[in-house]
Amino acid sequence: LITAGASSFLAITSSSFVSTRHLLYGAVVSQHLSHLSIFWKIGLSYLLTDQAFAVSNEYFKNNANNKFKHYHLVGSGFTLWFIWQFTTIIGILLGSIVPEELGLTFTIPLTFLALLVNYLRNIDHLIVIVLSGITSIIFFDAPFKSYIIISSIIALAGATILIKIRK
């Protein structure tokens, strides 16, 4: 955001707003891991990434009565952590060799897209995803690159309305 000309305030606000997803992850995971000690909870919070949440949450839902289900998050989180460290080292060593024309910047959005695929089966999720995408495009030229915040707020409002309609 800063390199695109946004102010420091907007960059900090946007990244903080986008990172609030971890509050939601924690709220969902805490339902399944409330029996654990604070030591376990702190350790697991370090390993709780978008990808680890996606796979572990499915496991938690399907194995609700398993008192050792937290080991799934340990395994997925540590595996992802290890791969992240390993590939970071590879990136440091080989990054200057990769031509800029390859455009490897698409890989991060591709990762998030891969996480969304499973949610496309639920119409409510699909509506919120499409709403977020469309509003991001509509508000792309908003001042200070604030389209991220605007589309997130609109998508959250849409999700809230859908939840109220369902109830």
Q: Is the distance from CB of 44 to CB of 25 less than 8 angstroms?
A: no
Is 90 exceeded by the pLDDT of residue 68? yes
Tokens 């695929």 label which residue? 117
Furthest-apart CA pair in the chain: how many Å? 55
pTM of the prediction?
Answer: 0.61
pLDDT, residue 94, reads 83
Query: Which two structure tokens, joined as six digits, stand for 37?
Result: 């000690």
Report the pLDDT averaged over residues 116-123.
Answer: 77
Mapped to the 3 state alphabet, what secondary structure does the chain carry? CCCCCCCHHHHHHHHHHHHCHHHHHHHHHHHHHCCCCHHHHHHHHHHCCHHHHHHHHHHHHHCCCCCCCHHHHHHHHHHHHHHHHHHHHHHHHHCCCCCHHHCHHHHHHHHHHHHHHHHHHCHHHHHHHHHHHHHHHHCCCCHHHCHHHHHHHHHHHHHHHHHHHHC
Is 70 exceeded by the pLDDT of residue 103? no
Query: Which two structure tokens, joined as six digits, stand for 108?
Result: 């991060």
